[in-house]
Structure formats: structure tokens, C-alpha cells
Structure 1
């Protein structure tokens, strides 16, 4: 049961130098073996308040093509808004397990919303060293407040405040990515769902792990979303696969981390690259992150944007409903 899994992690995080076999990754995944030692990866850091739009578009285009990942600085979201989001999220995960379980994903639900949900099928029964909470924060029509914690009492206020600020940042990034493909500014976001685009928040909570050399928080994956915009805490853990190796990503205080997701790779017909990434855990400290996945509604149809495909540049990806794409990916079926 999910409760048993969460309780096990909480108990095991206090153990000394031992974790059960189901948390030990194979040698081809173990961080101690597969992480490049000696340097962290300085992914592009982009000042989104750059006054020269042509320069900003080029920076985001290049990062999306070559990295699939960049960090946004000078984004305009007040530090106190991000700190409030982090504080209430941390306070929720420090509650007793029984109180957190009140927000658990309902039995048999096909959606991801809820506490402690397990997203992907794992190979060979392995588990990630992580607990999490999913709920949508935008648009209002997609929000189900029963998955929003009532304790701490300012949880709702903090999330709404952050979402209000985040939407402006997301729209600016989409505009630049659209222009980078030779499209009009609004066209890429419209193709992704426009006003119906859903902002799905996930809070990842990684307790201290006695053997961080053997375990992973989240296994290697690309995000299904269009964009993912993430707030980390100060404990490093994000790794990116590049040139055949796993690299730690340098933490930049107050920056937002932006991932290109599968749907942007599809819509750009492969020009923008979805980034393969994973997360490691820490022996002494709690690591947390707050990714927001910008997802089309399940019935929304996506494919390579018709304005960037022709006889010389044929479509490299199928056009399909986002819900069908999700089903295939989560169940490891061919697309």
C-alpha cells in the first residue's frame, strides 16, 4: 500500500547505511557509478527581462535546441512569493502521515492528482526515494481543491499567488519559443492549448537517504508536458544526461529551471529537444522541488506545427490527443 511505502521511507531515512533492495538501482543507474565527477553543468542562464527581444529569443531558441533546459533569472517573481510557496509545501510534508493521507489519490483514479501517487511503472519493481503531491493550479475550471492541503492554512494563498506570477513568465517563454520557430508570438501557445493549458503542480519531497550512492529520487525521464517550470530548494539533486554522461546541474539561487517537454519537441518537429533528466538524493538534507507542468487538456490534439512542416521538412511525429500520448508513455507503449 502507498501508506506503507511512505512510512517505510520516513523510517528508513533514519536508518544507518542501509536501504532495502527495492530502492537500490542497477549499476547502470547508480549515481556513484554513472555521475560525471569533477564539475557541475552550467546550463544556460537566461535573463528573461532582457530588453532586446531579438537577443532573448535567440538565447531561448539556442538553449531549447542544444540543451532542452535553461535557468531563468531576473524573472520578476518576488523572492517572498517563492519562499512562501516553499515554506507551505515543506510544512505540509512535515505533517503526520495520517494527515497527509487525507489528500491521497483516490483508489482507481486515472488522474495523477493527490498525495503519494505513483506516476510511472517502474522496471523490475524498483522504487524512487521520494514522496509527492500533485494538484492543478490553473485554469480555475481544472482545479479540484480537495487535493489542496488545508494545513498549513496559508497553503492556498501561497499557491494562488505563485501561479498568478508564474503565468506571465510562462507566456513570455512560450512567445520567445514561438518566435524562435519562425511563428507569430501567440501561435505556439495556442497550438499547445491556449487558455485551456493546464498548470499541474507537483511537489517532490526527498527525505535524507542513508545510501544516496545507490538510490535515485526520480529515475531518468523526459517530461510529457509542453514546458516544465521548476522551483528547487537549495539542496542540489537535478542531473542531466549529456554526451553519454550524467551531470549535476549547478544551483542558481532564486532561478527558475525550465525543461523542454515532449509536446514542445513534437510541436517543433524535433527542433527543440525534450531534456532527459533524473534526481539524486542527499544523505543529510531534505531536497524538495516544485515543478509546474504546462499540459494540454487530455482531448487536445497535438502534432508538429503545420507551419513548420512541408515536403522538404516532413513531420517526424504523429498527431494525437494528449491523453492518448500520456497513456502510451505511462504504460511504456509505442507512440
Structure 2
């Protein structure tokens, strides 16, 4: 079944943008953003850089192999079906990207042009993230600078480039999870993303892949004290071509705690979530030994 995808047009006036984001986050937990200012050649350059990286030899990719979830540049495989060869389902390269000057020399220098193409996309998508962060907090009546004042200089920006090989039959390539971030901006070249419908508890496919998708993450759920909920999603892919997706995770600085906004707690008369940081999530992930533990993580933050 195909999911409905709400659209937020950044060329609209600010009041309309904020209202559309509020509706999308309240009812769906995701939306497509258009007129976002990232040219198609920049997006296509990043996707091709990812595809070229996964075409490298095993030895070249293994240089970045690590199980250390705190490593700024990390290659890995798996995340889907555990019965059989998980490497056939998904491989990924994870890159810390802010401040980009601190990490760019750690990024792979092969294939040729990888750093240049991915850096260009990283800079564009971060500018978009700051615009969206302002609109998110305006939609919660917290003011436009509630997040950006903390995110602008030292906020976490992590890019995960995922590669899914061609398969005759669709396979579960990345298990169900919600993202630990405040929000995620997702670029992809082929369908394969599925979201869990909140009302029917059924998986719905996202058929559109010609733009950018924005996903509500766990820490926006915490900030909003539950007004917005992180969207549970997975990758379920099969097709004649390989699939590339580039997820840009945007968060507060590594050790900064995200907590429910006091104004929203006062309105609800109850604080519904514990405070947590990205570092807390990484420690949880390491202890769980599970690359897709976001849905379990948010459950650990909810106060019952």
C-alpha cells in the first residue's frame, strides 16, 4: 500500500510553511520538502559519490570497517535480515559532518571526487536543516531560535550513505526503527522506504524519490513532549538497480541534553520524556549492539 506524503513548499510564506509543518508532524511524522534550494546536480553528485564508494573493492572499503559507533567515519554492513548473508542486504558509510573542516580529511579520498561531491551536498543540506529547525520550533510556538541557537555552531550533523544491492525479490534491508535525531533529511535514488501507519499499524511504501523527505526523529518528539512523534520506518527493497539513500541526521551537540520544552510541559501538566543526548543514544546503541535501535531507545525515554 502506498503512503500519502504531505508536501511543504519552502517558497510559500512563512505562516503557511509553519502551518504545513505542524500538520505534517502532528498527523504523519514526515513530509516531502520542495523548493528547498539544493540543485539537482548537487543531489545527483552525492548519490553518484555513494554509488562509486560502494563499487570500490572490499579491501578498500574494509579500511573504514568498525563496530565502534562513536567513530567519526565508519563502514559497516547489515541491518536487515539476519538469516543468511546480511552483507547482501545493506552496506553503509557513516560520516560526521559538522564542523566539516574537523572531519573532511578523515572521509574516504577514494573514489575520486567523493569528498568534493559529498562535501558540497553536506553544506547545502545543513543550510536547509537550519531553515527547517526554525520552522519546527515556530510550529511549536517556541520561537525560531529555540534550536538553531544550539545547533548552528556545534550541532551534530551525521551523514549515513546506504547502499542496497539489486535483488530479484524485495528483502528487509534495514529493520524497523525511528531516528535518534531531531530530524532527518533523506535523499534516495529509488523507492524502498516504508513507514508504519500510526492508525492501522500497517507498512506503507513511499513511492516518491524525486526530492527530499524529512522525518521526525526521537529528539523532536522529546522536545515537543509528544505533540510530534518520531516516524517508525524501514528499508524493504528489491529491484533491477542498486538503491542509494543518504540520510542526514541533525541534532544538538554531542553531550547536550534534549528535554521537553518547559512551555509545553506546563500546557500538558506532565513531563512525558526523560532528557537525553546523542552521546546517551550512542552508549545505548553500543550496549544494545543494534544498528537500528532507535524505536527501543525512544521507549526508554518515555515516562509512564
Q: Greater Rg, structure 1 or structure 2?
A: 1
1:173 to 132, 136, 139: 132
Note the alpha carbon deviations across 1:69-117, whole angstroms, 9 max, x for none. 0011111111111111111111111111111112222x65643731115
In structure 1, the gaps of 5 or more residues are: 1-35
- Structure 1 residues 329 and 190: CA distance shift in structure 2, 3 A: farther
Shift of 1:268: 0.8
Tell me the residue number matched to 2:20.
59
Q: Does the CA contact (< 8 Å) of 1:297 and 1:323 recur in 2?
A: no
Tell me the residue number matched to 1:134.
94
Tell me the residue number matched to 1:111.
71
2:145 to 160, 163, 186: 186
Tell me the residue number matched to 2:114.
155
1:169, 1:293 → 2: CA distance?
12
Tell me the residue number matched to 1:200.
158
1:132, 1:220 → 2: CA distance?
17
Q: Does 1:82 align with 2:43?
A: yes
1:311, 1:77 → 2: CA distance?
37
How large is the Cα RMSD of the aligned pairs? Answer: 2.4
1:58, 1:311 → 2: CA distance?
20
Tell me the residue number matched to 2:178.
222
Shift of 1:295: 2.6
Deviating beyond 6 angstroms after TM superposition, the runs of 4 or more aligned structure 1 residues are 122-126
Q: Does the CA contact (< 8 Å) of 2:8 and 2:32 recur in 1?
A: yes
In structure 2, the gaps of 5 or more residues are: 289-295
Q: Secondary structure at the match of 1:116?
A: strand
1:307, 1:76 → 2: CA distance?
33
Q: Does the CA contact (< 8 Å) of 1:227 and 1:293 recur in 2?
A: yes
1:123, 1:101 → 2: CA distance?
21
Note the alpha carbon deviations across 1:140-162, whole angstroms, 9 max, x for none. 3652632x121222111112211
Note the alpha carbon deviations across 1:7-37, whole angstroms, 9 max, x for none. xxxxxxxxxxxxxxxxxxxxxxxxxxxxx4x
1:125, 1:188 → 2: CA distance?
43
2:267, 2:17 → 1: CA distance?
30
Tell me the residue number matched to 1:26.
none
Matches within 5 A, 1:294-305: 294-305=250-261
Q: Does the CA contact (< 8 Å) of 1:42 and 1:250 recur in 2?
A: no
State TM-score, norm by structure 2: 0.86
- Structure 1 residues 119 and 186: CA distance shift in structure 2, 3 A: farther
- Structure 1 residues 44 and 109: CA distance shift in structure 2, 3 A: closer
Q: Does the CA contact (< 8 Å) of 2:77 and 2:86 recur in 1?
A: no
Matches within 5 A, 1:225-236: 225-233=181-189, 235-236=190-191
